[in-house]
Amino acid sequence: MTTLHATTSALDDKVVLVTGGTGSFGKAFVQRALASRAKKIIVFSRDEQKHYVMEREIKDKRLRFFVGDIRDRDRLQSALRGVDVVVHAAAMKHVPICEYNPIEAVQTNVNGARNLIEAAMSCGVQRVIALSTDKAVSPANLYGATKLCMEKLLLAANAYSGDRATRFSCVRYGNVMGSAGSVIPLFRAQRSRGQLTITDARMTRFWIEMEDAVNLVLRGLQLMRGGEIYIPKLPTTDIETLAEAVAPGVPRTCVGIRPGEKLHETLISTEEARRTSDLGELLVIWPEFAFHSTNTNVRVGEPVPDDFTYSSDCASPRLGLEETRAMVARVA
């Protein structure tokens, strides 16, 4: 299903730091970065045990491990000295946990973003690209609200940076298949017990493979001038089709939507469509302002219609059962 292709050229001869580098995305990105000509790759994460495991799994002299929390600006400042490129993947991301621990979610997702911005500008980092989510569009839960705030902070940071070197952009995508907390591993575990739980039969979601998520970030690093949000073109499924693909014939119980969940997710709102272009391989939401002299508000690509909305209930392609089975089969 991979449709987006990217090279690692944006990492060549660079020192790269990945926040949340021991997470599902972080590990996949680090593996890809090690195939580049990057000078050094720094894994920044607060989880000591995951550092321990990852350090023994991956042997490369360019790899460094830096235990730290993005809530700690001084620690970030130390970690970012000499860094050229930052991929910001650290976050609290589980919707129910963020709902019940709102201050913790704000501390990490919002205050952590501010700390990263300030430390990156102070250290002269060239490019910062952050991972966002479809839940940031018209958010219905605290997680989405904190990621929307993170987007706004990162994009506006280009104004603070001005004509200095540091540039900030984001990528925004849907559910990563098989990542920590994904419903696919949950369904597989429930399959062995002979009973699946679904929230609402009408629910739809965007899906992206980890390889495509990594490619999107690499492509964003290649294209970014500062202030853009890059969005991939993704397939969707409804929850019933996904459940049948993972666990055919297994009985299902509807348990209702969890706190903060939506029936459908949106990657681009109608309001954002007015400044969105289709680049063929992906979509890009352009910044509302010319933050700096290198951002001339020249928008390449084909503008999308003004009434365009990229929502999982109406986006194409909608995967059928066999296509969904093929997608699920690629998830380890």
Q: Give tens-digit pLDDT for 93-146.
A: 988 899 999 999 999 999 999 999 999 999 999 999 999 999 999 999 999 999
Q: Residue 94: inside a domain, yes or no?
A: yes
Residue-level pLDDT at 292: 63
Q: Give tens-digit pLDDT for 66-103.
A: 999 999 999 999 999 999 999 999 999 988 899 999 99
Separation of alpha carbons 323 and 24, rounded Å:
24
Q: Residue 84: inside a domain, yes or no?
A: yes
Query: Which is the catalytic residue, given 14, 27, 50, 135?
Result: 135
Kindly state the average pLDDT of the residues 228-242: 95
Q: Residue 240: inside a domain, yes or no?
A: no
Number of domains in the chain: 1
Exposed (0-12), middle (13-18) or buried (19+): which is 249, by Cβ within 10 Å?
Answer: exposed
End-to-end CA distance of the chain: 15
Residue-level pLDDT at 11: 97
Q: Residue 254: inside a domain, yes or no?
A: no
Asked if residues 41 and 54 have their Cβ atoms less than 8 Å apart, the reply is: no
Q: Is 135 a residue of the active site?
A: yes
The residues facing 311 across adjacent strands are 266
- The angle formed by the CA atoms of residues 278, 283 and 284, to the nearest 5 degrees, is 105
Other Cβ atoms less than 10 A from the Cβ of 313: the count is: 17
Q: Residue 42: inside a domain, yes or no?
A: yes
Average pLDDT value for the chain = 92
pLDDT tier at 177, thresholds 50, 70, 90? confident
Residue-level pLDDT at 275: 94
**Which range marks the domain in which residue 128 is found?**
10-174+208-234+267-310
Token pair listed for 7: 């090279």
CATH number of 129's domain: 3.40.50.720
